[in-house]
Structure 1
Amino acid sequence: MDILGISAFYHDSAACLVRDGRILAAAQEERFSRKKHDAGFPALAIRFCLQKAGISLADIDHIVFYDKPLIKFERLLETYLAYAPSGLRSFLTSMPVWLNEKLDLKRLLRQELAAIGTIPEQKLPPLLFAEHHQSHAASAFFPSPFERAAVLCMDGVGEWATTSVWLGEGNRLTPKWEIRFPHSLGLLYSAFTYFTGFKVNSGEYKLMGLAPYGEPIFKDLILERLLDLKEDGTFRLNMRYFNYAQGLTMTNRRFERLFGGPRRRPEAEITQREMDLAASIQAVTEEVVLRLGRTVHQELGVAHLCLAGGVALNCVANGRLLREGPFESIWTQPAAGDAGAALGAALSVWHQYLDHPRIPAAGDAMHGAYLGPEFSDDEIAAFLDASSIPNQRLDDETLMTRVAELLADEKVIGWFQGPMEFGPRALGARSILGDPRSPRMQSVMNLKIKYRESFRPFAPAVLAERVSDYFEHSGPSPYMLITAAVQPSWRLDTGADDASLFGIDKLRVQRSQIPAVTHVDHSARIQTVHRETNPRFHRLIEIFAERTGCPMLINTSFNVRGEPIVCTPEDAFRCFMHTEMDYLVLGNHVLAKHEQRPTARDDAWLSQFELD
């Protein structure tokens, strides 16, 4: 039986195909459309899923959408009435879209699906609708390795829920309680994302990366004026300071007065105020997550926790919850945002709607999140030959040795291998790699390769069996969703040099023997690389370790700022040629930048990507 899950029309549209309870394919629409966080109907992602399964739309047994639009419309109407007349402008802006499209979403979906399948609407499979947080919860629990676990979902808002708690047992998910809009941890964090000049639903991870450069001097002010936080982790926001419920912005003039002036303009210089705001809201978020975790553990009496929703991408909070919280283990859905809800909706149909049993997989059922398109070496060769692109084709072992040597020589490598990752992280299939021992690599890769802010940290991809040698962490972290400290034995004494520096100036200090992946607070967002899920990437790191003694590499996503992660060999080659990467590895083909035909700098290519 084949079930197609869809998420769309808000951000990060995606499609997922589940066959007999097994996740067969999943991808975000942005990877095909080349529009980051694409919210449109995921026609291209659906086509990929069908192609991967070798079926047509007519062969699908059930199609499920990830939330319930009528309930969401009810929430919008009630909110506008509650804030009237101040929400009139927002009401007039949103209502035409709802009345023309979203209110009759079932009809719209059927039209879009019929266009994909070139079949009449009456021949389409049954169309089901899951609740938003039900989809999140299912994406977290059903692929997890646990037979019984608590599930905590935290995001901006679904229909009404912004935080929800579930008990997962076998093939069932039972809702326990929820916090409702407008009181939202995700929207609180997004309000600070907006106020510090970053893009909402895109720049939250920048705020998290900026936090260690500041001091949490506004934490008490947030807790006194913005957030009524109870001991059990439940909370209410003081909506006098926010504008998202009734307006077209996240914050208002009261918010500006509270924090000493207007929001930072996007792309303007980042000041100490923004760093301190980032540190403060990050500290508040971690406190909320820790309190919620303790409460959920006490109420449900379970040893394991599953996380989903956009807030679950906050790897710093996840790391603290794992280390300081009461749970034996935590598993987070790698596509924790709305893209992963397409997967959760499909699994919810299989396990709960159709009542099929569930047997937890060893590790997890996500297959390392390598669920997207892949290209054979012959397909790659055909692309290279058709464009007369100079390259060298090597056997596996020669390739690994050559790439390890280049990395040890401080070359930056574009690495394109196997099925594309599902979710926001590159995990060794569509990655840019570098040497973590290099003091210069962090700034080189940020400014000359990624074209992004200098403060942004990079993640170490470390052999799973060696992770505790270098980081204060044991166990798997395959999806870059846990932050842990570098072991003291690998840190360097920064002394008075560090103490006298503030803000971005802290970047100048080398803090460990793996400086390119060590953040200013000695932390790292770790990815453990496992032979079972990515033997090719694992082997590369093994050979690099044999040559250098260092069992890890810098791993960052294969894209530039504002661009979705590359999907095809063509995407990879284009990005390679427009950046200062030194080499590109497509399957078994090695491309050296100095051997390529000179290409005039095409600023039009870069300008097509809206800055995130």
Structure 2
Amino acid sequence: MRVLGISAFYHDSAAALVEDGRIIAAAQEERFTRRKHDPGFPTHAVEYCLAEGRTTVSEIDKVVFYDKPFLKFERLLETYLTFAPRGFVSFAMALPLWVREKLFQRQLLTDELKALGGGVDVSSRLLFTEHHLSHAASAFFASPFDEALVLTMDGVGEWATTSVAMGRGNQLDVLREIHFPHSLGMLYSAFTYYTGFRVNSGEYKLMGLAPYGVPKYAQLILDHLIDVKDDGSFRLNLEYFNYCVGLRMTNGRFDKLFGGPARKPEEKLTQIHMDLAASIQVVLEDVVLRMTRALARETGAGNLCLAGGVALNCVANGKILRDGQFGSIWIQPAAGDAGGALGAALAAYHVNQNQPRLSPMGRDAMRGSYLGPEFSQAEIERRLQAVGATFSVVDDDEVIDLCADALAQEQALGWFQGRMEFGPRALGGRSILGDPRSPRMQSTLNLKVKYRESFRPFAPSVLREDVSSYFELDVESPYMLLVADVAKDRRVPMTDEEQKLFGIEKLNVPRSDIPAVTHVDYSARIQTVDRATNPRYHALISRFKQKTGCPVVVNTSFNVRGEPIVCTPEDAFRCFMGTEIEALAIGNCFLRKDDQRQGLKLNYEHAFTPD
């Protein structure tokens, strides 16, 4: 049985193909259209999934959309009626779109798929799942567990903003929900907005900014904005928010509480913004930990799965792990709305069609999240020749050796290998790599390669067998969704003068023997690399270790700020030529910047709208 899952029309649209319970392919539309967070119908992603599965629209048994539009419209109407006449402007803006498109998504989806399938009508095979069920299914059915508690937290689906389910075998039973407008995701996004970042894409920046600040506003948030019970259930004080009735997340009362208006995008970050980031991060962690502790006591579950946008908060995830209430936790790497496409397909197959699960046998079903397109060596060479690239074709061992040498010489290396990752993280398929020992690498990558804010940290990729030698972690973290501290014997103590520094002044103080991946609070967002899951990436880091003694590399996504992660060899070459990346490996093709024709050079610094 083949099931095609689709998420679309809000942000991060995607498609996923599941065949007899096995995940065949999954990809976000943005990677093909080169439009960040593309919300449109995922035409290219669907075409890719069908091609990867060697199938057609006519051979798909079920097509599943990741939420229920009528329930969302019900929320829109009820919210307006509750707050009327406030909110008329936003309601009036939303209503035409709903009447024109969203209420008739069955027809819209049918028409789009008919265009892709040569006129085949799929309306009789079209299903809709609830948003949080899609998230929960993406986490549980892809997890390595036969039984687990599933916690989903995001902004909002149809009505649910937080949900708890129990997964057993091929079934998911929803135990309870918290409904809109009370939302932990909305609360965090309100501070994303207030500190000048973009809602639905800038939350990870707020998380990265938090260690520069002091959580001096945490109690103010708990006193005025959110009422949290011992079991983690909560209600927001809606007097401080505008998202129910307006076009802003916060309002004048929120501004007054925190001493001024929201920061404008690109405006200078000050200590107050860092302290606000630290404060909302502490509050988020407090709520989530109360919730997970209560759920562990109540259910006795040994395993926990996490999904929804809040599950991308890897600092909170690390706190849950260290809290020790669950024996194991597993987080869906595409935890946001893109992953809803995969969850919708899995929910339809297992829950709706009552099909048995494949035995997890202790491993997850995501296959490293390498579920996107890949290119043969011959195709890579043809594509690079077509764009005028100068490259050498070398064997497997030599490409590893050349790349390890480039890293050891503190060069920024573009690494394009195998299948593209599904989800927001680059995991060694479409990555820019660097030497973590270099005190200059963090600044170089941010300012000269990524063209992004200087405060943002970089993640380490570390050999799984060496993780506990460098970090206070001894479990797998293949999807870069857990934060842990750098091991104490790797740290460099700060002097008294350095301790007095505040905020971004701390940025250039080396804090360990791997300074490029050590955040200002000695933490790191860790990816463990397993030989079985990504042998080529494992071989590269192993060779780097042979040459330098260090089993860690800097890993950031292969793109610049505002650009989707590269998908094709042409995307990679353009990014290479538009930035100060010095070496590039695509398959067995090795490219040096100095060898390229000057006329092919691009300027990527302002090529994309900042996110």
* Both structures adopt the same fold (TM-score exceeding 0.5): yes
Asked if the contact 2:384/2:570 (under 8 Å) is kept, the reply is: no
Q: Deviations over 1:464-519 (max 9, x none)?
A: 01100110001100000000000000001112132120010000210000000000
CA–CA distance in structure 2, aligned partners of residues 182 and 72 of structure 1 = 13
The one-letter code matched in structure 2 to 1:461 is S
1:253 aligns with 2:252: yes
SS in structure 2 of the partner of residue 90 of structure 1: helix
The one-letter code matched in structure 2 to 1:211 is A
The unaligned stretches of length 5 or more in structure 2 are: none
Which residue does 1:547 correspond to in 2?
A: 547
Map residues 439-588 of structure 1 onto 2, 5 A cutoff: 439-588=439-588
Which residue does 1:379 correspond to in 2?
A: 379
Which residue does 1:327 correspond to in 2?
A: 326
Q: CA deviation at 1:120?
A: 4.0
The one-letter code matched in structure 1 to 2:57 is L
The one-letter code matched in structure 2 to 1:524 is A
Which residue does 1:12 correspond to in 2?
A: 12
Map residues 268-417 of structure 1 onto 2, 5 A cutoff: 268-358=267-357, 359-417=359-417
1:188 aligns with 2:187: yes
CA–CA distance in structure 1, aligned partners of residues 197 and 387 of structure 2 = 39
CA–CA distance in structure 1, aligned partners of residues 416 and 484 of structure 2 = 27
Asked if the contact 1:60/1:125 (under 8 Å) is kept, the reply is: no
Asked if the contact 1:61/1:125 (under 8 Å) is kept, the reply is: no
Asked if the contact 2:106/2:123 (under 8 Å) is kept, the reply is: no
SS in structure 2 of the partner of residue 163 of structure 1: strand
Q: Deviations over 1:126-171 (max 9, x none)?
A: 0000000000000000011111110000000000000000001111
SS in structure 1 of the partner of residue 598 of structure 2: coil
CA–CA distance in structure 1, aligned partners of residues 203 and 537 of structure 2 = 29
Which residue does 2:591 correspond to in 1?
A: 591
The one-letter code matched in structure 1 to 2:12 is D
Map residues 221-240 of structure 1 onto 2, 5 A cutoff: 221-240=220-239
Q: CA deviation at 1:24?
A: 0.1
Asked if the contact 2:451/2:605 (under 8 Å) is kept, the reply is: no
TM-score by length of 2: 0.99
CA–CA distance in structure 1, aligned partners of residues 600 and 610 of structure 2 = 22
CA–CA distance in structure 2, aligned partners of residues 494 and 421 of structure 1 = 37
Asked if the contact 1:35/1:609 (under 8 Å) is kept, the reply is: no
Asked if the contact 1:577/1:599 (under 8 Å) is kept, the reply is: no
Asked if the contact 1:114/1:124 (under 8 Å) is kept, the reply is: no
CA–CA distance in structure 2, aligned partners of residues 268 and 140 of structure 1 = 38
The one-letter code matched in structure 2 to 1:293 is T
SS in structure 1 of the partner of residue 507 of structure 2: helix
The one-letter code matched in structure 1 to 2:367 is H
Q: CA deviation at 1:384?
A: 1.9
Asked if the contact 1:184/1:237 (under 8 Å) is kept, the reply is: yes
Map residues 98-137 of structure 1 onto 2, 5 A cutoff: 98-121=98-121, 126-137=125-136
CA–CA distance in structure 1, aligned partners of residues 526 and 426 of structure 2 = 12
CA–CA distance in structure 2, aligned partners of residues 255 and 247 of structure 1 = 14
SS in structure 1 of the partner of residue 164 of structure 2: strand
Asked if the contact 1:294/1:325 (under 8 Å) is kept, the reply is: no
The one-letter code matched in structure 2 to 1:471 is F
Asked if the contact 2:218/2:279 (under 8 Å) is kept, the reply is: yes
Which residue does 1:241 correspond to in 2?
A: 240
The one-letter code matched in structure 1 to 2:470 is Y
CA–CA distance in structure 1, aligned partners of residues 166 and 489 of structure 2 = 41
CA–CA distance in structure 1, aligned partners of residues 599 and 318 of structure 2 = 44
CA–CA distance in structure 1, aligned partners of residues 405 and 35 of structure 2 = 35
Q: Deviations over 1:367-398 (max 9, x none)?
A: 00000000011100111223332101111111
The unaligned stretches of length 5 or more in structure 1 are: none
Q: Deviations over 1:17-57 (max 9, x none)?
A: 00000000000000001001111000110000001011111
Q: CA deviation at 1:362?
A: 3.0
The one-letter code matched in structure 2 to 1:191 is A
Q: Deviations over 1:329-383 (max 9, x none)?
A: 1000000000001101100111111111112243200000000000011100111
Q: CA deviation at 1:295?
A: 1.2
CA–CA distance in structure 1, aligned partners of residues 387 and 225 of structure 2 = 57
CA–CA distance in structure 2, aligned partners of residues 113 and 191 of structure 1 = 36
Which residue does 1:97 correspond to in 2?
A: 97
| Misfit runs of 4+, over 3 Å | 599-603, 605-608
CA–CA distance in structure 2, aligned partners of residues 172 and 599 of structure 1 = 58
Map residues 213-228 of structure 1 onto 2, 5 A cutoff: 213-228=212-227
Asked if the contact 2:226/2:235 (under 8 Å) is kept, the reply is: yes
Asked if the contact 1:12/1:38 (under 8 Å) is kept, the reply is: yes
Asked if the contact 2:387/2:570 (under 8 Å) is kept, the reply is: no
CA–CA distance in structure 2, aligned partners of residues 118 and 225 of structure 1 = 57
SS in structure 1 of the partner of residue 550 of structure 2: coil
Asked if the contact 1:492/1:513 (under 8 Å) is kept, the reply is: yes
The one-letter code matched in structure 1 to 2:542 is E
1:203 aligns with 2:202: yes
Taking every aligned residue pair, what percent have the same amino acid on both sides?
62
Q: CA deviation at 1:608?
A: 4.9
Asked if the contact 1:242/1:252 (under 8 Å) is kept, the reply is: yes
Q: CA deviation at 1:406?
A: 1.1
- Seen in structure 2, the aligned counterparts of structure 1 residues 601 and 544 have a Cα distance that, compared at 3 Å, is closer
SS in structure 1 of the partner of residue 74 of structure 2: helix
The one-letter code matched in structure 2 to 1:244 is Y
Asked if the contact 2:492/2:513 (under 8 Å) is kept, the reply is: yes
Which residue does 1:150 correspond to in 2?
A: 149
Q: CA deviation at 1:442?
A: 0.2
Asked if the contact 1:58/1:125 (under 8 Å) is kept, the reply is: no
CA–CA distance in structure 1, aligned partners of residues 296 and 139 of structure 2 = 17
Q: CA deviation at 1:599?
A: 3.5
Asked if the contact 2:559/2:565 (under 8 Å) is kept, the reply is: yes
Q: Deviations over 1:237-290 (max 9, x none)?
A: 000000001111100000000000000010010000100000000000000110
CA–CA distance in structure 2, aligned partners of residues 57 and 600 of structure 1 = 40
SS in structure 2 of the partner of residue 508 of structure 1: coil
Q: CA deviation at 1:606?
A: 5.4
CA–CA distance in structure 2, aligned partners of residues 117 and 597 of structure 1 = 42
Q: CA deviation at 1:607?
A: 4.3
Q: Deviations over 1:387-434 (max 9, x none)?
A: 332101111111111111110010110000000000000000000000
Asked if the contact 1:334/1:369 (under 8 Å) is kept, the reply is: yes
CA–CA distance in structure 2, aligned partners of residues 369 and 481 of structure 1 = 13
CA–CA distance in structure 2, aligned partners of residues 285 and 539 of structure 1 = 38
Which residue does 1:432 correspond to in 2?
A: 432
How many residue pairs get matched?
A: 610
CA–CA distance in structure 1, aligned partners of residues 600 and 430 of structure 2 = 25
Q: Deviations over 1:53-107 (max 9, x none)?
A: 1111111000000000000100110000011011100110000000010011101
Which residue does 2:86 correspond to in 1?
A: 86
Asked if the contact 1:58/1:119 (under 8 Å) is kept, the reply is: no
Map residues 46-61 of structure 1 onto 2, 5 A cutoff: 46-61=46-61
